């Protein structure tokens, strides 16, 4: 799994199609993550990387995690949001909340 993850992300280095403007990032994540209600590996890894870069020292540990560990953390966070709001499984509103958190960190970093 982790090897597949690295191949998928590593294969896009240098020719990434990820947008850089915040509005474009929201549009990208909405189209590729929310509309499918699925896990977009590249978007989530970028989000974790940006959060790690712009967060206080307590979150710097994200930078040292493997791809699989990052996904585990993200899934855990989304699962927590789901249980807190009475849902048994992550739904679009939870991905949207994650997107809002990511966007906030992204704006602070840029």
Q: Where are the domains of the chain?
A: 65-110
Residue 88 has pLDDT above 50, yes or no: yes
Q: Which of 37, 44, 102, 86 is nearest to 69 (CA)?
A: 44
pLDDT(101) > 60:
yes
Place 9 in a pLDDT band, splitting at 50, 70 and 90: very low
Mean pLDDT of all residues in 29-56: 56
Residue 17: predicted pLDDT: 38
Q: What is the pLDDT of residue 67?
A: 60
């Amino acid at each position: 799994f982790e090897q597949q993850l690295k191949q998928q992300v590593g294969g896009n280095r240098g020719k990434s199609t990820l947008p850089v403007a915040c509005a474009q990032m929201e549009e990208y994540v909405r189209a590729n993550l929310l509309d499918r209600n699925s896990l977009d590996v590249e978007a989530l890894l970028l989000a974790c990387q940006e959060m790690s870069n712009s967060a206080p020292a307590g979150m710097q540990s994200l930078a040292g995690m493997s791809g699989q560990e990052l996904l585990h953390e993200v899934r855990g966070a989304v699962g927590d949001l789901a249980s807190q709001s009475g849902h048994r499984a992550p739904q679009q509103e939870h991905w949207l909340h994650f997107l809002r958190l990511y966007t906030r960190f992204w704006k602070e970093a840029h």
